[in-house]
Amino acid sequence: SYVLTQPPSMSVAPGQTAKISCGGHNIGSKNVHWYQQKPGQAPVLVVYKDSDRPSGIPERVSGSNSGNTATLTISRVEAGDEADYYCQVWDSSSYVFGTGTKVTVL
Amino acid sequence: EVQLVESGGGLVQPGRSLRLSCAASGFTFDDYAMHWVRQAPGKGLEWVSGINWNSVNIDYADSVKGRFTISRDNAKKSLYLQMNSLRAEDMALYYCAKDYGSGSYPQVSHFDHWGQGTLVTVSS
Pairwise CB contact (< 8 Å): B114 & A44: yes
Q: Which residue of B has its CA nearest to A46?
A: B112
Q: Is residue A7 helix, strand or coil?
A: coil
**CA–CA separation, B37 and B58 (whole Å):** 14
**CA–CA separation, B64 and A95 (whole Å):** 14
Beta bridge partners of B99: B111
Closest CA to A65 of A82, A88, A45: A88
Q: Is residue A45 helix, strand or coil?
A: strand
Question: What's the mean pLDDT when you consider all of chain B?
Answer: 96
Q: Is residue B46 helix, strand or coil?
A: strand
Q: Which of A1, A42, A100 sits opposite B116 (nearest CB)?
A: A42
Give the sheet arrangement for strand A69-74, strand by strand. A18-23, A69-74, A61-66
> Over the stretch B45-104, which tens digit does the pLDDT of each residue have?
999 999 999 999 999 999 999 999 999 999 999 999 999 999 999 999 999 999 998 888
Q: What residues of B are in contact with residue A96 (Cβ under 8 Å)? A: 47
Instruction: Check whether A46 has a pLDDT greater than 90.
Output: yes
Kindly report which listed range (A91-95, A98-102, B56-60, B100-104) carries the lowest average pLDDT score.
B100-104
Residue B63 is given by DSSP the state: T
- The interface residues of chain A toward chain B in range 13-72, judged by CB-CB distance below 8 A, are 30-31, 33, 35, 37, 42-45, 48-49, 54
Q: What residues of B are in contact with residue A90 (Cβ under 8 Å)? A: 106-109
**What is the share, in percent, of chain B residues with pLDDT greater than 90?**
93
Find which of A90, A91, A95 to mutate to test the B interface (most B CBs within 10 Å of its CB).
Answer: A95
pLDDT score, position A10 = 97
Run of H or E including A86: strand A83-91
User: Distance (Å) from the C-alpha of residue B34 to the closest C-alpha of chain A?
Assistant: 12
pLDDT band at B108 (very low <50, low <70, confident <90, very high): confident
- Determine the distance from the C-alpha atom of residue A3 to the mean position of all C-alpha atoms in its chain, rounded to a whole number: 15
Cβ atoms of A77 and A13 closer than 8 Å: yes
pLDDT score, position B104 = 83
pLDDT score, position B112 = 96
Average pLDDT over residues A42-47: 98
Q: What residues of A are in contact with residue B118 (Cβ under 8 Å)? A: none
Closest CA to A63 of A39, A38, A89: A89
Average pLDDT over residues B21-37: 97
Residue B75 is given by DSSP the state: T
